[in-house]
Amino acid sequence: MEHIADAWHLAVWIYSSGGDPLRLGFHLYIMNASRSTLSRTLHPSPSFRTPPSTRPIHSTHPIHSLSIPPLPTTHLRTLLHHLGAPTTGTKPTLLTNLRTALHLHRLSPTPRPTIVSIDLGLRNLGICVAQLDFPPASSSLSPSLTVTHWRRIELVPAVPSPSPTPSDSLQTTYLPPDPFAPSALASLARRVVDEWVRPHKPSAVLIERQRWRTGGAAAVQQWTVRVGLLEMGLWSVLGMGDGERREVVGVSPARVVGWWVGGEKGGKGGKGKGKREKSRRVEVVGRWVREGVGEGEGITVGFEGQAGEMARAFVELGKKGRRKKGEEEGIGKLDDLSDCLLQAAAFAKWEGNKRMMEGMTGEELRAWGAGEVPGR
């Protein structure tokens, strides 16, 4: 039937073209384009929902009408730091970053939005599920984070080395499947989302952003490529339309560490810098678990259910981790747990700062940019 319709249209266009080859070619082009459009309409390809963080912002969006007073570059960088946004670039770039940061990753207006924070690793990951409570915009109270699930998940179990096979044996040795093959990592990403994200129906999913270079080295290490593939797999699965409304946020680990721990003074670097930063992150979370979050840190953290049991185990593991030979393994387990919690707490604080900043006057923005604590 489709071919008969095409032949009929072709006959009509040949007649209307009057034998002119240019006009006939134009009619054929229009017919082909129409069929292509109809085919895409009747047989659409699988749609991938564009994450909100990558959608372009139209010039008529409300963020372009925000009244931001003239501020020095240092003040803009301070305000961006309070939002967990990039702080480098020229002054126009910083101003654009500020307007964009106030718009991106806004949580749905639910009473207690749920977030899932994922600290990625190659063989295991740390995951934290928490509910947020935000005070009114006119209040000086801090946001509250209630952690309900907190654990370290082993993704790829350690495979023992096979026993040596005698050279004269005719037995065939089968190698285990590669757990880091693209097909295996794609399946793993789907399993993580199905088992640890979707059941909680989160308003936001935080994924630790991975790096492609280590220490500015020219070579890209193999484990970096593998964990990067897993990161992209998570983004792909979460980006497919499944009927759930959620924000997917890539969080810079450097900004999280800079927020809670800060940079080391005295220019200490070298081989042990990463281990020192890891220990400091574990110490911060250990203090939160034992004593609670300090008043000046601007957030309240509590633990319930399974997370409460893990908090008690965190303290015990911290005590055992400083003994004997198992110190590095114990610190490694604590590091996975502490990073996903610090990431969730930083996001909660940045989101609270966005809500507070939107209700500020120009003078209050200047004062906050100058380093004064907002007295709201």
Query: What pLDDT, on a 0 to 100 scale, did the predictor assign at position 54?
Result: 45
- Position 279 in a domain: yes
Report the C-alpha gap between 96 and 100 in whole angstroms.
6
Q: Specify whether the CB–CB gap between 138 and 248 falls below 8 A.
A: no
Residues 8 and 149 in one domain: no
Q: Specify whether the CB–CB gap between 374 and 367 falls below 8 A.
A: yes
Residues 205 and 308 in one domain: yes
Report in angstroms the alpha-carbon separations of 105 from 84, 86, 99, 204.
11, 15, 13, 8
3-state secondary structure of 293: coil
CA 108 to the chain's CA centroid:
17
Residues 133 and 253 in one domain: yes
Query: What pLDDT, on a 0 to 100 scale, did the predictor assign at position 332?
Result: 58
Q: CATH number, domain at 134?
A: 3.30.420.10
- Position 199 in a domain: yes
- Position 80 in a domain: no
Q: At what angle do helices 306-320 and 273-291 cross, to 10 degrees?
A: 130
Residues 14 and 143 in one domain: no
Query: What pLDDT, on a 0 to 100 scale, did the predictor assign at position 375?
Result: 56
Residues 120 and 10 in one domain: no
Range of the domain at 25: 2-35
Residues 14 and 137 in one domain: no
Residues 206 and 296 in one domain: yes
Query: What pLDDT, on a 0 to 100 scale, did the predictor assign at position 211?
Result: 76
Residues 131 and 256 in one domain: yes
Report the C-alpha gap between 277 and 262 in whole angstroms.
9
Residues 15 and 136 in one domain: no
Tens-level pLDDT at each residue, the chain (376 residues):
444 445 445 444 444 445 554 454 444 444 454 444 434 444 444 444 544 444 443 344 444 445 788 899 999 999 999 999 999 999 999 999 999 998 876 776 677 899 999 999 888 899 999 999 987 765 666 889 999 999 999 887 655 445 545 444 444 555 567 888 888 999 999 999 999 999 999 999 999 998 766 666 677 777 788 888 999 999 999 988 777 788 899 999 999 999 998 754 444 555 566 777 888 899 999 999 988 776 667 888 999 999 999 999 888 876 765 545 444 455 557 888 999 999 999 999 999 888 888 878 888 889 998 888 775 4
Domain total in the chain = 2
- Position 368 in a domain: no
Report in angstroms the alpha-carbon separations of 340 from 105, 153, 281, 371.
18, 12, 11, 28
- Position 78 in a domain: no
Query: What pLDDT, on a 0 to 100 scale, did the predictor assign at position 137?
Result: 62
Query: What pLDDT, on a 0 to 100 scale, did the predictor assign at position 88?
Result: 92
Residues 6 or more apart from 211 whose CB is under 8 A from it?
224
- Position 190 in a domain: yes
